[in-house]
Amino acid sequence: MSDLLSNLILGAGVAFSWSALFYCFAGVSLGMVVGVLPGVGPLPAIAMLLPITFYIDPTEAIIMLAGIYYGGQYGASTASILLNLPGTPPAAVTCLDGYPMAKQGRAGVALFITAIASLVGSMFGIVLVGTFAPVLARFALEFGAAEYFSLILFALIGTSAIGGDSFLRSVSMVAVGLLLGIVGQDVTSGQFRFTFDIPGIADGLSIVAVAMGIFGVSEVMASAHVERDKKPESFGFRNMLPSHSDFCRAWPSMGRGSLFGATCGILPGAGASMAVFIAYAFEKRISKTPEIFGKGAIEGVTAPESANNATAQTAFIPTLTLGVPGDAVMAVMLGALMIHGINPGPGLIEEQPQMFWGLVVSFLIGNAILVILNIPLVGIWTRLLQIPYAVLFPIILALICIGVYSINYSTFDIFLVIAFGGLGYGMKLLRFPPAPLLLGFILSPMLEENFRRALLLSRGDWMTFLVQPISGVFIGLSTALVLFAVITALRQHGPGRHPGALSETE
């Protein structure tokens, strides 16, 4: 404990310098803004600012880039809740209950509780980073190809619980997402799969285009001819505060979401997308009122948001202590460190203690700044809902097009997002859930890669997924989830109904 205290004092001496405070504030402020803008996200901002960091102190550069990252995680929930536009793939889960809350006139409550959930998740992640980084890094080393495959399989099956009442429809959407995820060039053989000689998808479908299409454009199409269904929003601070009942339901889900997020952040390659889907699915499974999910459940907002921000903090553990980035943003962070002559790995904490502990303390400062900035802005953000739809819809579509185009500077991606908007609208009409499709699409390449690698290492022995202890546990949990879902559906509908109809609404 004394060592931890002395390390935090060392980090505070770095993080509380005027220059470090400036770069921390600049990073989190910029991150919040790019997070709010649909389709932009923290990755383009970090990539564009990377050359600037060549001329400043390495520690301050990493503090600023990290601030953009977790600031973007905060900001992405705003567009998700107000406009049903997930600026990043993990924010798509927040749409499921955040947007219904906004339509009910509770946008202020949703944004306020999101800020609190984000803070709780971030603080939980920071404690783990500061206290258990070396231990957690060694735990992450226990995960091989078989373990990752089983973990991803478990996440995909768990996703079936979040799509709606129909287990079969959710599973089918996961399957569609997996198929979409293999479009493009095969990493192993170099062969093009399902590209139909279209150059624009040779490198695969754009994640942003898929997410913005099935969530954002489809919502515009579905709502364009519908009278605005929302209660007048009250903008007083007291009206934005969640009720006692909301807080009682939110706190446990924040804790569970933080735990899921921290775990997925520790595992290299797992990332926030997996964390938020698992956290949401778990909350719905254990809820006594699962029917309210997707209709404005407070737990459906707090669990994924706390998971998202816990992942943003703990994702630095494998990046800094193992040199293994968990996602594209962490890969850019890794490149920034190496450009400055810092080699991430097990010896980083001992070799660069000022940088590591200065970064940890800057997390505390940055998250405090974000809460101070976000809560007063809740009233301003919720006023977006007062804009007439005739004015708002063209703005939304313009932001979507700009955001999608800015990723690859490809006009083909704009046509792609329109196509997925039509697909998403058709899914709405047929009551097929979009969230499982998105998770299947995101995790498909990782699932295939680890499946191949595990079989190669085991010389084609399928039992490798069962004999490895950690992998076997996840396979067992996945099997239990499937059996539980099928048995529950059969009990609800009785033996007289065909078992394929696993939805009350079908």
184 φ, ψ (degrees, to nearest 5):
120, -165
Helix residue ranges, H only, 84-144? 91-103, 107-140
Cβ proximity of 27 and 366 under 8 Å: yes
- Is 44 inside a domain boundary? yes
Residue with token string 């059996």: 483
Q: Model confidence at 22, in pLDDT bands (50, 70, 90)?
A: very high
Number of domains in the chain: 1
- Please report whether residue 264 resides in a domain: yes
Give one DSSP letter per residue of 360-408, joined into a string. Answer: HHHHHHHHHHHHHHHHHHHHHHHGGGGS-HHHHHHHHHHHHHHHHHHHH
Task: Tell me the pLDDT band of 21, cut-offs 50, 70 and 90.
Answer: very high
The answer to whether residue 415 is domain-embedded is yes
φ/ψ of residue 193, rounded to 5:
-120, 125
Residue 247 within any structural domain of the chain: no
For residue 311, what pLDDT band results from cuts at 50, 70 and 90?
confident
Q: Per-residue confidence at 503, pLDDT binned at 50, 70, 90?
A: very low
Please, which residues have CB within 8 angstroms of residue 374's CB and are 6 or more apart in sequence? 32, 74, 111, 115
Q: In the prediction, which pLDDT does 12 show? A: 86
Whether residue 213 is contained in a domain is answered as yes
Task: Pull the structure tokens for residue 434.
Answer: 């979009």
pLDDT tens track for 332-370: 777 777 777 777 766 677 778 888 888 888 988 988 888
Q: Is residue 235 part of a domain?
A: no
**pLDDT tens digits, 118-162:** 888 888 888 877 777 667 656 666 778 888 888 778 877 876 654
Q: How far does CA 303 lie from the centroid of its chain?
A: 11
Percent of the chain scoring above 90 in pLDDT: 2
Are 193 and 184 contacting, i.e. CB atoms less than 8 angstroms apart? yes
302 inside domain: yes
**Domain of 284?**
2-141+149-219+253-493
What's the average model confidence in pLDDT over 27-53? 74
Q: Which residue has the higher pLDDT, 100 or 105?
A: 100
- Let me know if residue 369 belongs to a domain: yes
